[in-house]
Amino acid sequence: MATNSGLVYLIALPLFGAISLLLLGRRADKWGHLLATALSAGSFAVGLFQLSEMLGRETEARPVTQKLFTWISVGSFNVDASLLLDQLSICFVLLITGVGTLIHIYSISYMSHDPDRRRFFAYLNLFIASMLLLVLGDSYLNLYVGWEGVGLASYLLIGFWNKKPAYATASKKAFVMNRIGDMGLSFAIMIAFASLGTVSFSGVKEKAEFASEATMTAIGIMLLIAAVGKSAQFPLQAWLGDAMAGPTPVSALIHAATMVTAGVYLIVRSNFVFDAAPNAQLLVVIVGAITLLFGAIIGTAKDDIKKALAASTMSQIGYMVLGAGLGPAGYAYAIMHLITHGFFKAGMFLGAGSVMHGMNDEVNMRKYGGLRKFMPITFVTFGLGYLAIIGVPPFAGYFSKDKIIETALNAGGAKGIILGSITLLGAAITAFYMTRLMILTFTSPKRWDDNQHPHESPALMWIPMSLLAIGSVASGYLLYRGEALKHWLEPLFEKHGEHTELLPPIVVSGLALLMVAIGVSIAVIKYQLSDIDAVAPENVSIFTRAARRDLLQDDANEALFMRPGQALTSALVKVDERVVDGTVRGIGQMAVGSGTALRKSQTGFVRSYAMLILIGAAALIAAIWVVTQ
């Protein structure tokens, strides 16, 4: 594989930004955000340059590597810190740096009143660098470094306003739940090392066909746990909603467009593992399907605009995971949906940020309404993202989501029918809750107080929104046209046989559009054509109540893990107090007791010491006397 010494700049630029902003401290307050944005844009430029070079090469010669240094060298186990840029990585590189740069620009304005703006940009750059390392690492171990790096950046950014205890708790929650996933990844690495003797992607791929299925299943399940943790999939989904405590640009970049999709990247990158482990693959599909519905249902009940969008993110990543679990047929579509989702969801989050910016940081949609007139640009860009997510042709989501639905239906047998139905149902629910969000925010009568003065956001904010909106419109078609993305990624995956088509594509599209229409109509009837309370009604069905409580995810976590954990901890504390401390204290008391006893021999009288010396001398002489007998 060809080497390319330019890859390191992708990571080095934002990393330099993060380090210098953090080290320079307040001296960089005036220009830190500009430097960070410029470095992120520079990284994007390097990415574009790499893409142009890659396009100029033959298909086989497209992946390039760069060895940075020998990291671990123990006997036969060698890990180099090296980077790998192939067709899959470049998609992510461009998404991360492109969307990342737009969000940097947006944040300049959004965070302009925050005294800690420099620190915010340092963390953003740190995130960009870590995320790039994640997608550029050529082995699971290198990926793991980036994986932890984004976890750290996410933690720092969710808790950016950590003066509010609730926000600090939210960041801690995200961190702890991510840890569970990270544990899965480290187990996967350990299993790979122990049974395959290598942790690099190419090495594992080579050995995958010789390894037993049980080994691959174990690695696959561990990787799935990692993906579940990072991508907020069932059952580790509870942290994403709380992660909205962070500033909105963070939610857009990290918790919508990039970091949470790292799980999908991991599954697609490890396609050789899952291809060799059908059971693990099935588990991936199940997780995706459950999360898809789970997130969608939560989304219908949320009044907090950011939490509704977070639930939607969860659900859309469910689509991606489901697609990735469908094997070679679905990988490309999972990535395609990931990219289009990156555009429209980031755009909508920025739109939500813009709305909050104009509404004094009010997040309750029931206190919005009629904002179309006051924020026309936000309305248009948000609307384009809305059309993209619900899958109206020819917007981006239509192409990517329809392909996943189609692939799911074609998975064969009962599995195909069940998965197809779930994805179609998900599409309907998505249409419902997104329409509800649009109506509550923009088109329904106004419900805000008179002391609110909604206004359009400054250009630095709406320009990135517009660019993302263009992406939401065009990206789907561009990637779909002539199966462009599929052919681009094809060399990385196993070839797959043709599926028998359960239904022709046009019928699937028709079905999907029908479901969307049903969802939209229900929402319009329920919200546009009837009155909306400014306060959430209390006399609602038990299902609504459960959905408002995130389908009891936190209660389940508390009952299943927290309380037993607390009980275990208090039991351990007792053991610690009685047994461990008792032993330690006993030893201490023994020492004190013997000291007290021995102290009596220490009279302090010089003469008694002298006498002991005399006795010792006598004993010495006696010993010599005996020995020389």
CA distances, 452 to each of 225, 445, 461 (Å):
45, 15, 20
Among 55, 535, 562, 624, binds another protein (CB under 8 A): 624
Tell me the closest approach of the beta carbon of residue 588 to another protein, in angstroms. Answer: 22
The tokens for 232 are 């907020």
Q: Give the other-Cβ count within 10 Å of 533's Cβ.
A: 9
Tell me the closest approach of the beta carbon of residue 614 to another protein, in angstroms. Answer: 5
Tell me the closest approach of the beta carbon of residue 601 to another protein, in angstroms. Answer: 10
The tokens for 392 are 């109206």
> The tokens 């304005």 sit on which residue?
109
> The tokens 């206190």 sit on which residue?
367
Is the CB of 500 or the CB of 602 nearer to another protein?
602
Is the CB of 163 or the CB of 607 nearer to another protein?
607
Question: What part of residues 359-388 is at the interface with another protein (CB under 8 A)?
Answer: none
**Contact code string over 554-593 relative to another protein, x by CB under 8 A:** ----------------------------------------
Tell me the closest approach of the beta carbon of residue 597 to another protein, in angstroms. Answer: 14
Question: What part of residues 257-316 is at the interface with another protein (CB under 8 A)?
Answer: none
Is the CB of 2 or the CB of 622 nearer to another protein?
622
Size of the site for another protein (CB under 8 A): 19
Q: Is position 596 an interface residue for another protein (rule: CB under 8 A)?
A: no
CA distances, 498 to each of 45, 284, 410 (Å):
39, 22, 10
Encoded amino acid at 439, one letter: I
Contact 305, 355 (CB under 8 A): yes
The tokens for 581 are 């401390």
Is the CB of 543 or the CB of 609 nearer to another protein?
609
- DSSP tag of 253: I
Is the CB of 570 or the CB of 608 nearer to another protein?
608
Q: Which stretch binds another protein (CB under 8 A): 16-24, 107-115, 149-157, 597-605?
A: 597-605
Question: What part of residues 164-193 is at the interface with another protein (CB under 8 A)?
Answer: none
Alpha-carbon 108 to chain mean position: 23
Bridge partners of residue 364, in order along the sequence: 304
Q: Is position 552 an interface residue for another protein (rule: CB under 8 A)?
A: no
CA dist., res. 200 & res. 80, Å (int): 9
CA distances, 321 to each of 312, 332, 407 (Å):
14, 12, 13
b/e burial code for range 356-373 (CB count within 10 A of at least 16 → b): bbbbeebbbbbbbbebbe
Tell me the closest approach of the beta carbon of residue 627 to another protein, in angstroms. Answer: 11
Length of the chain: 629
Encoded amino acid at 399, one letter: F
**Spatial CA neighbour of 300 closest among 439, 123, 202:** 439
Contact 479, 339 (CB under 8 A): yes
Is the CB of 575 or the CB of 620 nearer to another protein?
620
Tell me the closest approach of the beta carbon of residue 590 to another protein, in angstroms. Answer: 22
Is the CB of 542 or the CB of 606 nearer to another protein?
606
Tell me the closest approach of the beta carbon of residue 608 to another protein, in angstroms. Answer: 6
Tell me the closest approach of the beta carbon of residue 616 to another protein, in angstroms. Answer: 9
Is the CB of 575 or the CB of 617 nearer to another protein?
617
Tell me the closest approach of the beta carbon of residue 599 to another protein, in angstroms. Answer: 8
Question: What part of residues 600-619 is at the interface with another protein (CB under 8 A)?
Answer: 602-608, 610-611, 614-615, 617-618
CA dist., res. 597 & res. 595, Å (int): 5
Is the CB of 212 or the CB of 603 nearer to another protein?
603
Sheet holding 2-3, edge to edge: 2-3, 64-74, 77-85
CA dist., res. 99 & res. 105, Å (int): 10
Is the CB of 5 or the CB of 603 nearer to another protein?
603
Q: Which stretch binds another protein (CB under 8 A): 120-128, 146-154, 424-432, 596-604?
A: 596-604
Tell me the closest approach of the beta carbon of residue 594 to another protein, in angstroms. Answer: 17
CA dist., res. 467 & res. 548, Å (int): 33
Tell me the closest approach of the beta carbon of residue 604 to another protein, in angstroms. Answer: 3
Q: Is position 625 an interface residue for another protein (rule: CB under 8 A)?
A: yes
CA dist., res. 324 & res. 341, Å (int): 15
Q: Which stretch binds another protein (CB under 8 A): 43-51, 491-499, 530-538, 621-629?
A: 621-629
3-state secondary structure of 103: helix
Tell me the closest approach of the beta carbon of residue 176 to another protein, in angstroms. Answer: 53
Residue 570 backbone class (left: φ over 0; alpha: ψ -120 to 50; beta: rest): alpha
Tell me the closest approach of the beta carbon of residue 589 to another protein, in angstroms. Answer: 22
Tell me the closest approach of the beta carbon of residue 620 to another protein, in angstroms. Answer: 9
Encoded amino acid at 210, one letter: F
Long-range (24+ apart) CB contacts under 8 A made by 64-67 are: 64/1, 64/2, 64/3, 64/4, 64/7, 65/1, 65/2, 65/3, 65/4, 65/7, 65/138, 66/3, 66/4, 66/5, 66/6, 66/7, 66/8, 67/3
Is the CB of 23 or the CB of 624 nearer to another protein?
624
Is the CB of 194 or the CB of 606 nearer to another protein?
606
Among 1, 176, 562, 621, binds another protein (CB under 8 A): 621
Is the CB of 69 or the CB of 605 nearer to another protein?
605
Among 30, 113, 495, 599, binds another protein (CB under 8 A): 599
Contact 11, 132 (CB under 8 A): yes
The contact set with another protein (CB under 8 A) reads 599, 602-608, 610-611, 614-615, 617-618, 621-622, 624-625, 628
